[in-house]
């Protein structure tokens, strides 16, 4: 049976969302192909319509664009960027990224909820980038988000699932797809996120800073597929600490 | 307007006072900075720490770090790639006026120099904008000398209002303003403000700024903070390296940005690294340059900043030769100027005023773009959408 990823009213075979912001534009096609990515995020602020080095000219055919609102510092700015993306023909998907901290690039959850309410009402498939907070995730679901995109670790840190326990809570409590966004630095970390039950993984820096970006994208593809299959298979029991006593601990009972 | 020499730590009438405390913090920190106290071991420890604070900056700027330049370069390149990928933004400066009422001893625009003065008319500005935009650039840096009478805030605002139709990002490198004036320029289209303290050493500042409003040290120091309060998206810092003790000045500029970003976490911060260059027929006598920098010193400062504040923008100026810029760009830069003219105008037709200094890299936008591509970097023309 096909294991399709449903998102924003569309179906995807790939669960690898590729960020495009940190490498040479002519590489995007090769990286997307090797990674099997069907969704590519792009910073709308890099779209130089009619001008040189326009990122939109480098996205392969058949890819679903996921424009992000990077550069936005408020809900109002994010909403305007999203509308502009739609007007430029980028479609109805939007990754809401609202950041008011230039040092850590941590998301502004409250503003993100506000933007999500407005954009979802306008028919956008909203994918909000947030700190993994259950209350925020519930508010986003109520606002009509298409998914929740919690950060695994600070953007660009390649540190993996530092927020693992909080993402676990979202996975247990939320019906929306949970897509791990920032911080995934290695294929093994992407695999782990998928094993946990995340619906997809997004990666950018890990691939852009690899010696061979296309090859690293291929490794991510395999890791994400492996993690997904492991999740569907139902991971076996993993002992958290030490071994288990071989003689029963309750053997003293006389009944 | 000529003033008699006033106390450089005071303000002239009309200058807004912030008394925000940042200046005191920076001056206190610099007072205790003795670069020669740091050994190579200290610098190594600083380099290896995951997160870097003022102590690490001090160590990385010290002579003790000089033997680690290669390691610093490798680490800086990793940080630049991690934060910005391989993208490098391109922009060009546009000098719209060069009238000046200051008399800074190191500057080609100073009121004591007999140079051709001018400012661009509306028609000139439109012609320049057309010429620059035709090279593909979408970002511009607008510069003036300091003369409120001849080229004041309203004149600059009028220029920005014309330029915003052509460019998605506009920076201004002009004389310091009050908060409300910055707000006005933001409304006219400015996004960024660059102000260089030149030297953070108050005694040296006093010596080289004998006349004019620029003589007020604290008013200039707080310009970035007023700009942020006025709603600017980002601010740039720097000192004119070589004018004072370059290590102390670099340390001060780094801390200035660090403390201000802590106070205004949304602020985008950036650095430039102007090094004293000759102007006109002046061969830059040694007396003007207190602390000459070798290229390796300049690079050490750039690398130290990248490691200290990996998220900061770093702009490389055409004051440096192409061979230096090209290689340094790959290590630290987020922005490069290209197609530069430092006369008043000069992009569309002949300049209306003489240049402020001599440039060492006169390559066109296409040439700089090709250089970046050749080095495996991605030229970025557009990196902001105004909404």
Contact check, Cβ <8 Å, B384/A45: yes
CB atoms within 10 A of CB B375: 13
Name the residue among A35, A10, A14 with its Cα closest to residue A23. Answer: A35
Return d(Cα A65, Cα B325) in angstroms, integer. 35
Contacts of residue A212, Cβ cutoff 8 Å, sequence gap at least 6:
none
Of all residues in chain B, the one with the smallest CA distance to A20 is: B85
Query: How would residue A137 be classed by pLDDT, with cut points 50, 70 and 90?
Result: very high
Range A85-109 average pLDDT? 94
Q: Is the dihedral of CA B50, B53, B54, B57 positive or negative?
A: positive
Q: Is A154 on the interface with B (CB under 8 A)?
A: no
Domains of chain B with bracketed CATH: 30-380 (3.20.20.70)
pLDDT at B1: 46
CB B266 within 8 Å of CB A74: no
Chain A segment 65-94 residues within 8 A of B by beta carbon are 71-73, 77, 80-81, 84
Q: What is the pTM of this model?
A: 0.90
Return d(Cα B221, Cα A53) in angstroms, integer. 37
Structure tokens that stand for A96 in this block: 């809401």
Q: Exposed, middle or buried: residue A26 (CB in 10 Å: 0-12, 13-18, 19+)? A: exposed
Q: Is the dihedral of CA B41, B46, B48, B49 positive or negative?
A: positive
Q: Is A106 on the interface with B (CB under 8 A)?
A: no
Q: Is A136 on the interface with B (CB under 8 A)?
A: no
Cα-based distances in Å from A236 to A222, B40, B134: 20, 52, 62
Query: Which residue reads 């979202």 in tokens?
Result: A170
Return d(Cα B207, Cα B374) in angstroms, integer. 45
Contact check, Cβ <8 Å, A156/B266: no
Of all residues in chain B, the one with the smallest CA distance to A43 is: B383
Contact check, Cβ <8 Å, B87/A44: no
* HEC per residue, A103-153: CCCCECHHHHHHHHHHHHHCCCEEEEEECCCHHHHHHHHHHCCCCEEECCC
pLDDT at B293: 85
CB B259 within 8 Å of CB B20: no
Domains of chain A with bracketed CATH: 5-233 (3.20.20.70)
Q: Which residues of B231-251 are buried (b: 16+ CB within 10 A; e: fewer)?
A: ebbbbbbbbbbbbbbbbbbbb
Range A232-254 average pLDDT? 73
Number of CB pairs, chain A paired with chain B, less than 8 A apart: 82
pLDDT at B281: 55
Range name among A133-142, A172-181, B263-272, B282-291 with the lowest pLDDT average = B282-291
Q: What are phi and psi of B87, to 5 degrees?
A: -80, 135
Q: Considering chain B, what is the average pLDDT of its residues?
A: 91
Q: What DSSP string describes B181-214?
A: HHHHHHHHT--EEE---B---HHHHHHH--SSGG
CB atoms within 10 A of CB A49: 10
Structure tokens that stand for B345 in this block: 């105008």
Name the residue among B193, B137, B201 with its Cα closest to residue B163. Answer: B137
Query: Which residue reads 């994918």 in tokens?
Result: A127
β-bridge mates for residue A130, sequence order: A150
Of all residues in chain A, the one with the smallest CA distance to B384 is: A45
Chain B segment 79-98 residues within 8 A of A by beta carbon are 81-87
Query: Which residue reads 């997307």 in tokens?
Result: A32
Q: Which residues of B21-38 are buried (b: 16+ CB within 10 A; e: fewer)?
A: ebbeebbebbeebebeeb
Q: Which residues in chain B land under pLDDT 70?
A: 1-4, 109-110, 277-290, 356
What whole-number percentage of chain B has pLDDT above 70? 94
Contact check, Cβ <8 Å, B265/A77: no
Query: How would residue A241 be classed by pLDDT, with cut points 50, 70 and 90?
Result: low
Q: Which of B265, B267, B379 sits opposite A53 (nearest CB)?
A: B379
Contact check, Cβ <8 Å, A21/B85: yes
Question: Is the per-residue pLDDT at A60 higher than 90?
Answer: no
Chain-centre distance of CA B20, in angstroms?
22
pLDDT at B114: 78
Q: Is B320 on the interface with A (CB under 8 A)?
A: no
pLDDT at A237: 66
Cα-based distances in Å from A229 to A177, A232, B77, B242: 17, 5, 37, 61
More confident residue, A26 or A130: A130
Shortest CA gap A159–chain B (Å): 12
Backbone dihedral region for residue A183 (phi beyond 0: left; psi -120 to 50: alpha; all else: beta)? left
Q: Which of A10, A95, A114, A159 is catalytic?
A: A95
Contact check, Cβ <8 Å, A53/B261: no
Return d(Cα A96, Cα A81) in angstroms, integer. 9
Pick among A26, A27, A52 to test the B interface (most B CBs inside 10 A): A52
Contact check, Cβ <8 Å, B261/A44: no
Return d(Cα B239, Cα B251) in angstroms, integer. 10
Helix (H, G, I), strand (E, B), or coil: what is residue B9? coil
Pick among A44, A48, A50 to test the B interface (most B CBs inside 10 A): A48
Residues of chain A positioned with their CB less than 8 A from the CB of B309: 103
Q: Is A57 on the interface with B (CB under 8 A)?
A: no
Q: What DSSP string describes B284-323?
A: --TTT-SS---HHHHHHHHHHHHHHSTTSEEEE-TTS-HH
pLDDT at B4: 59
Q: Is B377 on the interface with A (CB under 8 A)?
A: yes
Contact check, Cβ <8 Å, B267/A46: no
Query: Which residue reads 């080289």 in tokens?
Result: B208
pLDDT at B301: 97
Q: Which of B84, B86, B385 sits opposite A71 (nearest CB)?
A: B385
Contact check, Cβ <8 Å, A46/B86: no
Q: What DSSP string describes A44-82?
A: GGG--TTSTT-GGGGSPTTPEEEEE-TT--SHHHHHHHH
Of all residues in chain B, the one with the smallest CA distance to A102 is: B266
Residue A10 appears among annotated catalytic residues: no
Beta strand spans in chain B (E) = 87-95, 139-143, 169-173, 192-194, 234-237, 268-272, 313-316, 335-337, 378-380
Contacts of residue A191, Cβ cutoff 8 Å, sequence gap at least 6:
A223, A224, A226, A227, A230
Chain-centre distance of CA B130, in angstroms?
25
Question: Is the per-residue pLDDT at A47 higher than 90?
Answer: no
CB B316 within 8 Å of CB B328: yes
Cα-based distances in Å from B22 to B29, B51, B224, B225, B250: 11, 22, 11, 9, 16
Question: Is the per-residue pLDDT at A1 higher than 70?
Answer: no
Shortest CA gap B229–chain A (Å): 15
What is the interface pTM, i.e. ipTM, of the complex?
0.82
Helix (H, G, I), strand (E, B), or coil: what is residue B142? strand
Range A195-213 average pLDDT? 92
Query: How would residue A59 be classed by pLDDT, with cut points 50, 70 and 90?
Result: confident
Pick among B76, B85, B271 to test the A interface (most A CBs inside 10 A): B85
pLDDT at A169: 97
Q: Is the dihedral of CA B116, B117, B123, B129 positive or negative?
A: positive
pLDDT at A29: 86
Q: Which helix (H) or strand (E) element contains residue A203?
A: strand A200-203
pLDDT at B279: 54
Backbone dihedral region for residue A130 (phi beyond 0: left; psi -120 to 50: alpha; all else: beta)? beta
Q: Considering chain A, what is the average pLDDT of its residues?
A: 91
Q: What are phi and psi of B330, to 5 degrees?
A: -65, -20
């Amino acid at each position: 049976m096909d294991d399709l990823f449903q998102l924003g009213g569309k179906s995807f075979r790939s669960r690898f969302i590729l960020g495009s912001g940190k490498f040479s534009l002519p590489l995007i096609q090769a990286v997307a192909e090797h990674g099997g990515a069907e969704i590519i995020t792009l910073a709308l602020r890099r779209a130089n319509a009619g001008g040189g080095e326009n990122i939109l000219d480098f996205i392969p055919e058949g890819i679903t664009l996921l424009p992000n609102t990077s550069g936005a510092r408020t809900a109002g700015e994010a909403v305007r960027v999203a509308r502009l993306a739609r007007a430029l023909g980028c479609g109805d998907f939007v990754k809401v990224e609202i950041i008011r901290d230039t040092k850590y690039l941590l998301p502004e959850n409250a503003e993100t909820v506000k933007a999500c309410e407005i954009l979802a009402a306008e028919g956008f498939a909203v994918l909000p980038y947030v700190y993994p907070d259950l209350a925020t995730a519930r508010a986003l679901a109520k606002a009509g988000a298409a998914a929740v995109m919690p950060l695994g670790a600070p953007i660009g840190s390649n540190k993996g699932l530092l927020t693992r326990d909080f993402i676990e809570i979202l996975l247990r409590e939320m019906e929306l797809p949970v897509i791990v966004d920032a911080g995934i630095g290695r294929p093994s970390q992407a695999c782990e996120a998928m094993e946990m039950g995340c619906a997809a993984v997004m990666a950018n820096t890990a691939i852009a800073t690899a010696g061979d970006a296309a090859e690293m994208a291929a490794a991510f593809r395999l890791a994400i597929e492996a993690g997904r299959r492991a999740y569907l298979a139902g991971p076996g029991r993993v002992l958290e600490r030490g071994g288990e006593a071989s003689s029963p601990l309750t053997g003293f009972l006389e009944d | 307007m000529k003033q008699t020499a006033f106390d450089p730590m005071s303000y002239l009438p009309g200058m807004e006072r912030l008394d925000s405390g940042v200046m005191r913090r920076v001056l206190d920190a610099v007072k205790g900075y003795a670069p020669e106290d740091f050994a190579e071991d200290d610098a190594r420890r600083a380099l290896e720490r995951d997160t870097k604070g003022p102590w690490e900056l001090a160590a990385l700027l010290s002579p003790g770090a000089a033997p680690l330049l290669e390691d610093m370069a490798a680490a800086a390149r990793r940080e630049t790639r991690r934060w910005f990928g391989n993208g490098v933004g391109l922009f060009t400066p546009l000098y719209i006026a060069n009238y000046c009422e200051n008399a800074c001893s190191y500057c080609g625009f100073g009121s004591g120099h007999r140079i051709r003065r001018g400012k661009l008319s509306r028609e000139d500005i439109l012609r320049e904008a057309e010429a620059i935009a035709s090279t593909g650039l979408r970002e511009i840096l607008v510069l003036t000398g300091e003369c409120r009478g001849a080229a004041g805030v309203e004149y600059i605002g009028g220029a920005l209002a014309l330029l915003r139709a052509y460019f998605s990002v506009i920076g201004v490198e002009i004389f310091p303003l009050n908060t409300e004036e910055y707000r006005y320029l933001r409304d006219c289209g400015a996004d960024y403000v660059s102000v260089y303290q030149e030297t953070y050493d108050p005694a040296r500042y006093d010596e080289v700024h004998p006349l004019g409003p620029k003589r007020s040290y604290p008013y200039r120091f707080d310009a970035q903070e007023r700009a942020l309060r006025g709603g600017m998206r980002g601010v740039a810092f720097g000192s004119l390296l070589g004018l004072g003790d370059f290590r102390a000045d670099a340390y001060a500029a780094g801390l200035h940005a660090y403390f201000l970003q802590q106070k205004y976490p949304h602020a985008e911060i950036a650095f430039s690294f102007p090094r004293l260059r000759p102007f006109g027929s002046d061969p830059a006598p040694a007396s003007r340059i207190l602390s000459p920098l070798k290229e390796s010193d300049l690079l050490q400062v750039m690398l130290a900043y990248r490691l200290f504040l990996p998220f900061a923008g770093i702009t490389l100026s055409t004051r440096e030769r192409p061979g230096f810029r090209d290689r340094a760009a790959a290590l630290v830069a987020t922005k490069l100027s290209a197609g530069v003219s430092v006369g008043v105008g000069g992009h569309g037709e002949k300049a209306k005023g003489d240049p402020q200094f001599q440039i060492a890299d006169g390559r066109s936008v296409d040439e700089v773009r090709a250089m970046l591509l050749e080095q495996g970097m991605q030229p970025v023309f557009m990196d902001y959408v105004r909404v």
